[in-house]
Amino acid sequence: MSAHLRRRWMLTTGALAASAVLLAGCTSNTPEPQDEEDGGDTAQGATSNNDETGETVTIGFSAPAADHGWMGAITRAALDEAAKYDDVELVVAEATNDVNLQISQVETFINDGVDAIVLLPFDGAALTEVATEAMEAGIAVVNVDREFASPFAARTTVLGDNYGMGVSAGTYICEQVGDNPDAVVAEIAGIDSLPLTQDRSQGFADALADCGLDVDNRVAADFTVQGGQSAAANLLQAAPQIDALWNHDDDQGVGVLAAIDEAGRDEFLMVGGAGSANVMRAIQADDSVLKATVIYPSTQAADGIRLARLIVQGKALSDLVEVEVPRTVQLYAPVVTKENVEEYLPTAFES
């Protein structure tokens, strides 16, 4: 199998796998009623309506401070999701970037005897020990976004796809400029020391390689507006000609676009990352260099709330034959363009 065909195969199978895990957000697909003679006692996942009120589930929720548009959206979505269920009692800890405080919050959840904990740790490794304690106490832990250092620390983990973001961004750029072997591709990353940034960059490089391109100019920012503007200004000064640019994060993209406007540059197309509403509106308007963004779902904690409820109530995902909630749910990283932006805009977050 050629490298090109192998890449296409990987992307296709990845999309199919993503379709399966996205069922985490579709737990109420109810089949036609059946009587017992017609097999009404078949697998629970094929016959139950998971949205029906069940036993009350008390869920503790803790996440970092909402000092970033995406992080704020994570918490809002979790609260909104919990409010949809009469059988969910959500106990929300104060959002914090203090690791020791977040550890104490989880300890409080354990002492209070909650049924489940949905936890987006500020630092996955640092929260691993206390999450393991919760699991050992019989509390179902749903780990969101930043993984723990041990598989014993969580019943289920909900993740975005950082490597997949890079693949999606690189594949889109290949489709747009890949017929030009001399195309100049630039990249504005997030914080380089973070594994998520490294994964995004690796996926991007791998996808570009499939069409014979590579990253000609790269700078790192810090996921802030100010950092994005400064990094972009440096990049634009160093690269007098660019054909395509991928910016990892739409929050820092506000600053990136400001630097592009200040420099008066418009010879290239830009792809964003994460999926903010302001970026999607710019894509919809189609009056700037911004032509696409790659989604990193801000619904992960909301999915965590749903899954925690199902786990405690002994239910499964109704669209799967499997009678247990999966151990890992990884969400897909689709590309949003002018053609499909209306589909994604309602769930986008504000930068």
Per-residue HEC secondary structure of 151-209 comes to HHHCCEEEECCHHHHHHHHHHHHHHHHCCCCCCCEEEEECCCCCHHHHHHHHHHHHHHH
CB 144 within 8 A of CB 301: yes
What is the pLDDT averaged over residues 69-79?
94
Kindly report, as residue ranges, where domains of CATH 3.40.50.2300 are found in the chain: 3-159+298-320, 162-295
Read off the pLDDT of residues 300-329 as tens digits, 9 standing for 90 and up. Answer: 999 999 999 999 999 999 888 989 999 999
The dotted CATH code for 162-295 is 3.40.50.2300
Check whether 138 has a pLDDT greater than 70: yes
DSSP symbol at 215:
E
Check whether 32 has a pLDDT greater than 90: no
CB 333 within 8 A of CB 168: yes
Cα separation, 211 vs 181, in Å, equals 8
What is the pLDDT averaged over residues 288-296?
98
Q: What are the C-alpha distances in Å from 164 to residues 3, 189, 274, 331, 335?
A: 18, 15, 12, 10, 10
Record the pTM: 0.81
Check residue 7 and give its pLDDT. Answer: 42
What is the pLDDT averaged over residues 276-282?
96
Check whether 48 has a pLDDT greater than 80: no
The dotted CATH code for 3-159+298-320 is 3.40.50.2300
pLDDT band of residue 143 (cuts 50, 70, 90) is: very high
Q: Considering only 21-25, 152-156, 235-239, which range has the smallest mean pLDDT?
A: 21-25
What residues contact residue 302 under an 8 Å CB cut-off, 6+ apart? 25, 77, 78, 80, 81
Check whether 108 has a pLDDT greater than 70: yes
Average pLDDT, the chain: 89
**Tokens at residue 35, please?**
């009587």
Do the strands 140-144 and 116-119 form a parallel or antiparallel pair, or are they unpaired? Answer: parallel
